[in-house]
Structure 1
Amino acid sequence: MSSSPSTVTPLEHTAIGALGGTVEVCIMQPLVGIKNALQEGRPIPRHPAHLYRGLLMNVVSMAPITASQFGTNRLMQTKVLNKSEDELTGLERFGCASVAGAVSAFIASPSELIIIQQQKSGRSLGAEASHFMKVHGSAAIVRGLLPAMGRETLYAAGYLGLFPIIRKELDEKMPGSSGLTLVAASILGGVFAAACSHPFDTAKTRMQAFMYDKPEYRTLRSTFGAIYKEGGIPLFWKGLSPRMLRIVCATLILNSMRTGAVEYLDKTRAEAAGLAA
């Protein structure tokens, strides 16, 4: 990578994130359906098409979610800390990514609420959204927001914060092995992101899946208590395998696209500046 500061703006990082999120969710959508089924305790859909229920909503939501994470992360680095990426400490990278994740939960939580309800009912996206608003009202759209913030904070800290820290260390120890370090950092960052954030994801899924028909899932505190009472600590990590696989792959996909796009834009601009000179 170039040692000169990147010219790619937070807005451009936002656009890169939107594209990356769209590509990632189209590839990994079946694992979302499997994970939700395991966490809710219902049978895993056997028909492949059923695993793609909620894909449109997931694309519509994931693009702005990843866009906001990429954009906020870059904004924190350049405007709040006023540093180039090469100047950031490990703690600063981790902190910027965590803030970006927390912000994105305000997009992620409402959209996933509709997706979960759609996967249970089998209705079309429009029909499910209409049914939800009619039955539960607009105030219910914030259902599961707090655990979503906890999850997204740790998720983004892993794939946006820990990934570049690990890759930088590996690149220094294994020069010339960029492909290997990319995969290794994706695995380590993705495993951290999945394992640490999964209990919050389980709680969010339960709160959103059962809404108000089960009083034990009405609050975050009661939800954690109900999950623990039902299956102890292991139940908090129910459905971890498909989600961890998805997040490891997402870490690889998103960071590959991010790195490639940033390097392309910086190289193109440097060449254009050289020609102009």
Structure 2
Amino acid sequence: MTPRPTRLVRALSSTLAAGTLLSTAACSDDGGTDGSRVSGVTASQVAEVRQTPSPTAALSTSGARTALITEADIEDDWTQVKDTEAESWHDSLLVGTVDVSDFVSGKAQASDCQRLIDSLYDDDLLGRPSGASALRGFEQGDSRLLYQVASYDRTDLQDSLNWMATLPEKCDQFTVTDGEEKRTVQVIETSVPKVGDARQGLRVTVQGSVDGNDATLTLNVAAVRVGDDAITVTAGGLDGGEDDSMKQAAQQGTQRLQDVLAGKSPAASPTD
């Protein structure tokens, strides 16, 4: 995991960044017929209901890059940034220590919430890839969208999706402290298009301050498994979430990944 920056570095980062936008996220969706799962159904149960088997070809580094989405896949006014810039996207509002006193079960439950904010900061929500990986970043005004494709150990990958499914209950609301500052974090489940073998969506909001002014970071996150591989989308920022773009990225990105694994060239234009 990337070492945490010092408070001085974080303060400078907040000032220079003109608002600590994360690498990702998007506005929430409290429901919908295209939801990732019905209430009470885990990501692992969703994985059991497959309409078509996933391709089994191993994902190469070049294949991972080919599977990345483009500006056309997410429409609106998103502009692709350099990979080196996207790799450096980290939001200081996500830095801090979870207050254990917020939880009935204490340290065990707090550790899940700590893992959530740490992995959002480090852009490794599904854990470290075991094989090929690639990422691409986009900007639109003060919002950012980070898209990742990677190979994982399948058991670890499904465990991560199952873990994500528990967070809206375990981490529905908690407090993060960073020095003298306290931030309120809320987590809810959001819908994800019915694509891939298993999927999970979250909306994470962090209420804190930037340069002495009240600020709320909103991130919409989607993760979709395709065999041993997965895509992760994080979209949003201080202006709110980007739910529609998150869903478009998940929909089009999953199809691109499936095409690559099947030995096909992804379509140049998005498909419905």
**Bigger RCO (CA 8 Å, 6+ sep):** 2
Per the normalisation by structure 2, the TM-score is 0.30
Q: Greater Rg, structure 1 or structure 2?
A: 1
Q: State TM-score, norm by structure 1.
A: 0.30
Which structure dedicates a bigger proportion of its chain to strand?
Answer: 2
